[in-house]
A = this chain, B = another copy of it.
Amino acid sequence: MDDDTATEILESTYRALCKHGYADLTVENIADEAERSKASIHYYYDSKENLFIEFLDFLYDRYTAKLPAADGGTPREQLSALLEIVLTEEEAAPGQEFRTALLEVKAQAPYSDAIQTRLVSLDQVLFERVRDIIAAGVETGEFDAAVEPTVAAEFLVTVIKGAHTRRVAVDHSSERLHETVIWYVDSHLIGDDLSGATP
């Protein structure tokens, strides 16, 4: 299959997932979105599971490309840009639908090693990006020298994931959560009077 066909099918999978959720996702839904026959999807992917795994890999590439690179701006600016992207960008309706579907997929992880492996990669790439930005900020002196990049990144990634879950489960405003996280960065990563901020 050529790249265009693959991209078209995977983008149709994205739209079908947003519309139907994961539990109700069928190859037929995907075929409808792609304006193709069900048979032509099956010609490329022998099962819904294989197509979905391919879709998670496609998502990983998109996600990695979307995260701000570790160049351009100071570490503080890079971290703000990253938080802006992961916390608020997807607040519009399609983003909320996608976030809901992704939470459903997360609940499937314990039942599928292939799905869990992809979710671990998505989690890991965010963790590493955050950790590297914090480490660079500690290096340049923009963040407090007592901040431990691994611990702070672990903490921030957990907060980001909690913000995503609460947005879906309890309809908690992203904006309020974004403010809370910015408060954390301002008060706990920045400032010379944070000598207590060691693990």
A interface, CB within 8 angstroms of B: 21, 23, 96, 100-101, 103-104, 106-107, 109-110, 116, 119-120, 123, 151, 154-155, 157-166, 168-172, 176-177, 180, 183-184, 187-188, 190-191, 193-199
Contact = CB atoms under 8 A, between A and B. Distances in A.
A101 to B, nearest CB: 8
A169 B199 contact: no
A158 B154 contact: no
B109 A169 contact: yes
Given A107-B169, A119-B169, A161-B169, 17 more contacts: A106-B165, A106-B168, A106-B169, A107-B168, A110-B168, A110-B171, A120-B170, A123-B172, A151-B183, A154-B176, A157-B166, A159-B159, A187-B198, A188-B197, A191-B196, A193-B193, A193-B196
A150 to B, nearest CB: 10
A36 B107 CA distance: 29
A180 B154 contact: yes
B162 A158 contact: yes
B23 A169 contact: no
Contact of A123 (B23, B170, B184): B170
9 contacts: A96-B110, A104-B107, A106-B169, A109-B171, A123-B170, A159-B162, A161-B165, A190-B196, A193-B193
